[in-house]
């Protein structure tokens, strides 16, 4: 049995030489110092403290040393690894602090900046008002009917018993659509921009078999200049009921129901004689002033701006459908009768919401529409 090799010199194991251990330690420290971010530090960590790092490999060599040399070498390697781990932890803390500071700056939110959401729009009060009025009739069983804004003269006038020389046909009221001028054409197209929603009455009667109960909201055109009380494009609501046995009492009851639904239970309407070609008899319809309820009449202490102390507000026209209209639309006037009315939405909006200038309704400025926006 051979004696232990007392003359074994640990420095002969290359990796365990003190200067080698020092070099490994210094390389590790330099690599950590050079790591510019946490990713780079992670790479340096694997290279210098991992299972195959020079110091780990050197550590494994210790086992091969004779006992008296093990302690020395173990101490040297242990100290070097301790210094490396300490430097790694310090650099880790440093780089984490740097990252946190950078993220705080990069991802900072300035809560004092003005918000840049697209502001919500608002529904136009004319639309809301038309829907509100239509709803009153829909809940009574009426159907919504629509017609074209570019309308045949026949529907706009002839079917409604306007004679060819009726003043409403003349240029000062009606926008005529120009036709082609040629050898066999005088440039008259027979087409107009509808001047009222009444042509929808004729369309509805031709489309359906009586009984007919329709309400027709829509846009109409007249050759007016835009000013505080006129606009060439405006809106009307038309109503038509054709059935067996309808009378003026049904018309009056329907009008009263409408103003009560829109303005309150104590409202009423009154009729004054008038003339329209498509109704006979015809009437102008007024509603009780919803502000003073008529109390301003003859009462100087209680003057009313809404109705100019007249007690009534003019709404529009109405009447019993002229039998000539029924005949033009193929309805037997011996069997059926009907009533109709029509009025302007702009006017109703003006007095209901104290809008003083019609141009506000036309211009589309959201500052005008927004206060109405919550109305359903
Ligand atoms: N179309 C008429 C106008 O624009 C209003 C009107 C009057 C409609 C009498 C009707 C009615 O339905 O019966 O002035």
Residue 219's closest CA among 290, 126, 306? Answer: 126
Element holding 224 (H helix, E strand): none
Residue of 185 and 17 predicted with greater confidence: 17
In a domain, 112, yes or no: no
Query: 253: helix, coil or strand?
Result: helix
Name the band, by pLDDT with cuts 50, 70 and 90, for residue 103.
very high
Instruction: Provide the pLDDT confidence category of residue 335 given band limits of 50, 70 and 90.
Output: very high
Of 341, 344, 346, 348, the residue with max ligand 1 atoms within 8 A of its CB, to mutate for a pocket test, comes to 341
Question: Containing domain of residue 65, as a range?
Answer: 10-106
Burial readout 248-276 (b: 16 or more C-beta within 10 A, e: otherwise): eebbbebbbbbbbbbbeeebebebeeeeb
Same domain, 139 and 41: no
Ligand 1 touching residue 20 (CB < 6 A): no
Mean pLDDT, rounded, for 308-319: 95
User: With a 6 A CB cut-off, is 161 part of the ligand 1 pocket?
Assistant: no
Ligand 1 touching residue 217 (CB < 6 A): no
pLDDT at 117: 77
- Segment 204-222 shows an average pLDDT of 97
Paired with 13 in beta bridges are none
Judge whether residue 12 has pLDDT over 80. no
Residue that finishes a domain, picked among 57, 78, 106: 106
Omega before residue 211 within 30° of 0, cis: yes
Q: Is 341 in the pocket of ligand 1 (CB under 6 A)?
A: yes
In this predicted structure, the answer to whether residue 19 has a pLDDT above a threshold of 60 is yes
Nearest CA to ligand 1 atom 13: 318
Q: Is the pLDDT of residue 375 over 70?
A: no
Instruction: For residue 70, give the H/E element and its range.
Output: helix 67-106
Inside any domain, residue 119: no
Q: Note whether residue 1 is domain-resident.
A: no
**Does pLDDT of 374 surpass 70?**
no
From CA 278, how far away is CA 358, in angstroms rounded? 29
What is the domain count for the chain? 2
Looking at per-residue pLDDT, the higher value among 265 and 71 belongs to 265
Same domain, yes or no: 62 and 155: no
11, pLDDT greater than 50: no
Mutate to test the pocket of ligand 1, among 318, 329, 338, 346 (most ligand atoms within 8 A of CB): 318
91 shares its domain with 129: no
| Residue 215 main-chain phi, psi, to 5 deg | -125, 135
The residue out of 106, 135, 165 marking a domain boundary is 106
Residue 71 has pLDDT above 90, yes or no: no
Digit-coded pLDDT (tens) for 36-63: 999 999 999 999 999 899 988 888 888 8
Q: Which two tokens stand for residue 49?
A: 């403290």
Same domain (yes/no): 19, 139:
no
Sheet holding 233-243, edge to edge: 143-144, 212-221, 233-243, 337-344, 312-321, 279-288, 269-276
State the Cα–Cα distance between residues 213 and 140, nearest whole angstrom. Answer: 9
Residue 343 contacts residue 317 (beta carbons within 8 Å): yes
Place of tokens 């490396």: 84
Which residues are CB-contacts of 82 (< 8 A; sequence separation ≥ 6)? none
In a domain, 115, yes or no: no
| 325: DSSP letter | H
Residues 6+ apart with CB under 8 A from 357: 228
Q: According to the 3-state scheme, what is the secondary structure of 140-187?
A: CCCEECCCCCEEEHHHHCHHHCCCCCCHHHCCCCCCEEEEEEECCEEE
Confidence at residue 93, expressed as pLDDT on a 0 to 100 scale: 93
What Cα–Cα distance (Å) separates residue 255 from each residue in 48, 136, 265, 271, 287?
95, 11, 13, 10, 9
CB of 369 sitting under 6 A from ligand 1: no
If DSSP codes are grouped into helix, strand and coil, which group holds residue 288? strand
CATH code of 363's domain: 3.30.930.10
- Residue 111 resides in a domain: no
Percent of all residues in the chain with a pLDDT value above 90, rounded to a whole number: 66
Residue 10: per-residue pLDDT: 45
**113 found inside a domain:** no
Whether residues 189 and 225 share a domain: the answer is yes
Q: Which of 317, 325, 346 to mutate to test the pocket of ligand 1 (most atoms within 8 A of CB)?
A: 317
Q: What distance in Å separates the CA atoms of residue 272 and residue 302, rounded to the nearest whole number?
A: 25
Higher-pLDDT residue of 290 and 333 is 333
Please compute Rg for the chain using Cα positions: 47
Q: Is 316 in the pocket of ligand 1 (CB under 6 A)?
A: yes
Mean pLDDT of the chain: 90
In this structure, what DSSP letter does residue 62 have? G
**Measuring CA to CA, which residue among 364, 367, 348, 350 is closest to residue 130?**
348
In-domain check, residue 168: yes
- The gap from C-alpha 232 to its chain's centroid, in whole angstroms, comes to 27
How far CA 257 is from CA of 93, 205, 349, in Å, comes to 81, 24, 19
How far is Cα 342 from Cα 315, in angstroms, rounded to an integer? 9
Indicate whether 88 and 135 sit together in one domain.
Answer: no
Same domain, 227 and 348: yes
Residue 333 — very low, low, confident or very high, per pLDDT cuts 50/70/90?
very high
Q: Is the per-residue pLDDT at 208 higher than 70?
A: yes
The answer to whether 126 touches 350, Cβ cutoff 8 Å, is no
Question: In testing the pocket of ligand 1, which one of 159, 195, 196 has its CB within 8 Å of the most ligand atoms?
Answer: 196
**Average pLDDT over every residue of 271-297:** 95
List the one residue out of 316, 334, 318 whose CA is nearest residue 326.
334
Confidence of residue 3 (pLDDT cuts 50, 70, 90): low
Residue 277 and residue 322 in one domain: yes
Q: Looking at the structure, do residues 147 and 253 belong to the same domain, yes or no?
A: yes
Across-strand partners of 318? 283, 341
Does position 313 have pLDDT exceeding 90, yes or no?
A: yes
* 7 has pLDDT over 60: no
Nearest C-alpha to atom 4 of ligand 1 is from which residue?
196
Looking at the fold, whether 102 and 129 belong to one and the same domain comes out as no
With respect to residue 333, please indicate whether it lies within any of the assigned structural domains: yes
Residue with tokens 């809008």: 355
Residue 152 has pLDDT above 90, yes or no: yes
Sorting pLDDT into bands at 50, 70 and 90, what band is 217? very high
If asked whether residues 296 and 205 sit together in one domain, one would say: yes
66 and 152 belong to one structural domain: no
pLDDT at 336 over 90: yes
pLDDT band at 13 (very low <50, low <70, confident <90, very high): confident
Q: What per-residue confidence (pLDDT) applies to 6?
A: 52
Quick check: pTM over 0.75?
no
pLDDT tens digits for range 256-265: 999 999 999 9
In angstroms, how far apart are the furthest CA atoms of the chain?
Answer: 144
């Amino acid at each position: 049995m051979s004696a232990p090799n007392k003359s074994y010199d640990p420095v002969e194991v290359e990796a365990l030489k003190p200067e080698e251990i020092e070099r490994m330690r210094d390389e590790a420290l330099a690599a950590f110092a050079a790591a510019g971010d946490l990713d780079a530090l992670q790479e340096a960590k694997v290279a210098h403290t991992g299972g195959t790092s020079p110091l780990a490999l050197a550590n494994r060599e210790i086992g091969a040393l004779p006992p008296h040399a093990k302690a020395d070498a173990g101490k040297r390697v242990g100290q070097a690894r301790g210094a490396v781990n300490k430097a790694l932890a310090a650099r880790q803390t440093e780089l984490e602090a740097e990252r946190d500071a950078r993220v705080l700056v990069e991802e900072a939110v300035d809560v004092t900046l003005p918000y840049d959401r697209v502001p919500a729009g608002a529904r136009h009060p004319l639309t809301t008002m038309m829907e509100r009025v239509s709803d009153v009739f829909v809940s009574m069983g009426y159907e919504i009917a629509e017609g074209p804004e570019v309308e045949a003269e026949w529907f706009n006038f002839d079917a409604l018993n306007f004679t060819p020389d009726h003043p409403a046909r003349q240029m000062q009221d009606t926008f005529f659509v120009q036709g082609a001028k040629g050898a066999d054409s005088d440039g008259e197209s027979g087409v107009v921009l509808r001047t009222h929603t009444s042509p929808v009455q004729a369309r509805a009667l031709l489309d359906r078999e009586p009984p007919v109960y329709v309400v027709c909201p829509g846009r109409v055109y007249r050759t007016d200049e835009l000013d505080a009380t006129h606009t060439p494009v405006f809106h009307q609501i038309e109503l038509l009921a054709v059935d067996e046995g309808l009378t003026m009492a049904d018309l009056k009851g329907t009008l009263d129901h409408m103003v009560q639904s829109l303005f309150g239970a104590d409202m009423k309407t009154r009729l004054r004689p008038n003339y329209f070609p498509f109704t006979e008899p015809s009437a102008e319809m007024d509603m009780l002033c919803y502000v003073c309820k008529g109390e301003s009449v003859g009462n100087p202490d209680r003057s009313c701006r809404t109705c100019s102390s007249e007690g009534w507000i003019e709404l529009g026209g109405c009447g019993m459908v002229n039998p000539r209209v029924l005949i033009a639309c193929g309805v037997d006037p011996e069997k059926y009768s009907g009533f109709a009315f029509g009025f302007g939405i702009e006017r109703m909006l003006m007095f209901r919401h104290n809008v003083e200038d019609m141009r506000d309704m036309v211009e589309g400025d959201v500052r005008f529409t927004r206060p109405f926006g919550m109305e359903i």
